[in-house]
């Protein structure tokens, strides 16, 4: 079997077997860390010069070389070498080939603390991008809610019509869910905001490394307190995957509503042609494939969370090669949720509401059955009794196959003498929504106030 050139110094007399090289390489996916790896290397080199390990000239060469390599990768001109296994060795080897001072760069560090640093830098940037995309989707929901502020639809429980709500109120529910996702990602970023560089392989260094200086250069708020934990900690990846999984679940729930609402059975909305597809066989079809894919991709993101937890569960201290497997799951999760957020924000701007269909669905008088029970409560009837009496009325109307509003006054009196003609005034959607004045209800004025509040929050976030 062919052998590749040894990378790891005098301990090894021959290189790795080609099959082993192909099995263990990570450059095919960890190249994504190159900007963060190079940023960490520049900070590390700057610190080495500060403590006298590098001369000014050597530091200048290293920084110049690393910036050249970064620019070449940006331009797609850098040649990755599988023989060098990962992004860290590719960058360092290329640097040393150009500038001999590059051989000093790895002083006082291990790939263990190096990759942990690059991952934390990467995830910090990714969270910022995710939060920006969440805010964009929230703005799209707010915009849709504002343009269809007067539209009433049935609210559902058990996928059965329950009570009337404003469409805007329904959309604002997703704004609230996304805000929790925004916060969870921010919390995950706090735990990632710790510098591991300087921990070495697992036991620090005998050199006088200035870790706090490096932390300041890279924008970390603090340095790790335990070198063994620092190189093996992947909690921040699990936290990110967990926050992203719940975000994906929320996006999947939004997708499900869009899929239902765009069906012929509901016909509440029409999604624009740019975000739907046709059928290879049935010419009449217009499928909500974007929403369906988002619903399906949530399974991948949930699976990535499970994989990251399972990866860690049996590892002894400290670094183990198993941890190479954390990256593909992490990168896939980040790419999936970011792409879904961005396409949803665009798609919601191309949704048209069928107001007539919504009006027909919301005009079902049974949506206001609970309001009728409340009417009885205001007249001194205990709620459980009121619930039973209204249930009798519903059953009688179903038996006669007529709307409940067509029961005669005599019918109502037979059910309970408390009923009078004014009871039928309850069956007005407009009055029913106005009567809902508890905080957080779908009252039109309250919903408008929430839209205004969210508009200010998101406008401020956009400026920052």
Residue 443 belongs to domain with CATH number: 1.10.40.30
The total number of structural domains that make up the chain:
3
Co-location of 73 and 164 in the same domain: no
| Cβ(193)–Cβ(223) below 8 Å | no
Residue 7 resides in a domain: no
Residue 345 resides in a domain: yes
Flag whether pLDDT at 2 surpasses 60. no
Flag whether pLDDT at 169 surpasses 80. yes
Flag whether pLDDT at 74 surpasses 50. yes
Co-location of 31 and 73 in the same domain: yes
| Cβ(386)–Cβ(376) below 8 Å | yes
Q: What is the CATH number of the domain that holds 276?
A: 1.20.200.10
- Please state the rounded mean pLDDT for residues 375-379: 97
Co-location of 199 and 338 in the same domain: yes
Q: How confident is the model at residue 462 (pLDDT cuts 50, 70, 90)?
A: confident
| Cβ(447)–Cβ(169) below 8 Å | yes
Percent of the chain whose pLDDT exceeds 90 = 92
Catalytic-role residue among 28, 221, 263, 279: 279
Residue 78 resides in a domain: yes
Dihedral angle sign, alpha carbons of residues 405, 410, 416, 417: positive
pLDDT of residue 10: 64
- Integer Cα distance of 32 and 72 in angstroms: 14
Co-location of 128 and 26 in the same domain: no
Catalytic-role residue among 36, 143, 158, 428: 158
At 209-247, the pLDDT tens digits run 999 999 999 999 999 999 999 999 999 999 999 999 999
205 is catalytic: no
Q: Residue 437, SS3?
A: coil
Q: Residue 150, SS3?
A: coil
pLDDT of residue 5: 47
Co-location of 98 and 116 in the same domain: no
| Cβ(118)–Cβ(61) below 8 Å | no
- Integer Cα distance of 109 and 118 in angstroms: 13
List own/partner pairs for 292-298 with CB under 8 A and 24 or more apart.
292/255, 292/259, 294/251, 294/252, 294/254, 294/255, 294/340, 294/343, 294/344, 295/252, 295/255, 295/256, 295/259, 297/248, 297/336, 297/340, 298/245, 298/248, 298/249, 298/251, 298/252
Tokens of 405: 């509003």
> Which residues, including other chains, have CB under 8 Å from residue 51's CB and lie 6 or more apart?
207, 208, 209, 210
Residue 11 resides in a domain: no
What is the domain extent for residue 56? 17-104
36 is catalytic: no
Q: How many CB atoms lie within 10 A of CB 460?
A: 9
Dihedral angle sign, alpha carbons of residues 407, 409, 412, 418: positive
Co-location of 200 and 306 in the same domain: yes
Flag whether pLDDT at 179 surpasses 50. yes
Co-location of 151 and 194 in the same domain: yes
- Integer Cα distance of 131 and 111 in angstroms: 30
pLDDT of residue 18: 80
At 308-360, the pLDDT tens digits run 999 999 999 999 999 999 999 999 999 999 999 999 999 999 999 999 999 99
pLDDT of residue 464: 54
pLDDT of residue 19: 85
pLDDT of residue 13: 65
Co-location of 48 and 127 in the same domain: no
Co-location of 395 and 305 in the same domain: no
Co-location of 351 and 391 in the same domain: no
The alpha carbon torsion through 127, 133, 138, 144 (nearest 10 deg) reads -170
């Amino acid at each position: 079997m062919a052998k590749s050139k040894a990378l790891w110094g005098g301990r090894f007399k021959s290189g790795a077997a080609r099959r082993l090289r192909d099995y263990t390489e990570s450059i095919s996916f960890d190249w994504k860390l190159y900007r963060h790896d190079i940023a960490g290397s520049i900070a590390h080199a700057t610190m080495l010069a500060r403590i006298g390990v590098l001369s000014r000239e050597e530091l200048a060469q290293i920084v110049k070389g690393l910036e050249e390599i970064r620019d070449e990768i940006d331009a797609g001109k850098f040649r990755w070498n599988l023989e060098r296994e990962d992004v860290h060795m590719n960058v360092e080897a290329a640097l040393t080939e150009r500038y001999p001072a590059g051989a000093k760069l790895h002083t006082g560090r291990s790939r263990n603390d190096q990759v942990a640093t690059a991952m934390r830098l990467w995830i910090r940037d990714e969270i910022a991008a995710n939060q920006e995309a969440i805010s964009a989707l929230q703005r799209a929901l707010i915009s849709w809610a504002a343009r269809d502020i007067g539209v009433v639809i049935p609210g559902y429980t058990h996928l059965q019509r329950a009570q009337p709500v404003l469409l805007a109120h329904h959309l604002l529910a997703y704004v609230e869910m996304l805000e929790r996702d925004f916060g969870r990602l921010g919390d995950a970023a706090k735990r990632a905001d710790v510098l591991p560089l300087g921990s070495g392989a697992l036991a620090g260094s005998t050199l006088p490394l200035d870790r706090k200086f490096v932390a300041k250069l890279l924008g970390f708020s603090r340095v790790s307190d335990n070198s063994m934990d620092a190189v093996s900690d992947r909690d921040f990846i699990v936290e990110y995957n967990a926050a992203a999984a719940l975000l994906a679940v929320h996006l999947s729930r939004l997708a499900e509503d869009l899929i239902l609402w765009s069906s012929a059975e509901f016909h509440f909305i029409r999604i624009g042609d740019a975000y739907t597809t046709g059928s290879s066989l049935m010419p009449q079809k217009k499928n909500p494939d974007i929403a369906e894919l988002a619903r399906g991709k949530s399974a991948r993101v949930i699976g990535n969370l499970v994989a990251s937890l399972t990866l860690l569960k049996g590892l002894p201290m400290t670094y183990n090669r198993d941890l190479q497997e954390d990256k593909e799951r992490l990168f896939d999760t980040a790419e999936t949720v970011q792409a879904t957020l961005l396409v949803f924000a665009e798609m919601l701007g191309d949704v048209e509401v069928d107001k007539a269909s919504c009006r027909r669905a919301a005009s079902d008088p049974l949506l206001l059955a609970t309001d009728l029970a409340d009417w009885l409560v205001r007249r001194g009837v205990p709620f459980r009794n009121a619930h039973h009496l209204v249930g009798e009325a519903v059953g009688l109307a179903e038996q006669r196959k007529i709307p409940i509003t067509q029961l005669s006054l005599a019918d109502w009196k037979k059910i309970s003498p408390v009923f009078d003609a004014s009871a039928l005034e309850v069956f007005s959607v407009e009055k029913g929504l106005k009567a809902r004045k508890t905080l957080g209800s779908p009252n039109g004025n309250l919903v408008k106030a929430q839209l205004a509040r969210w508009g200010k929050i998101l406008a401020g976030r956009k400026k920052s």
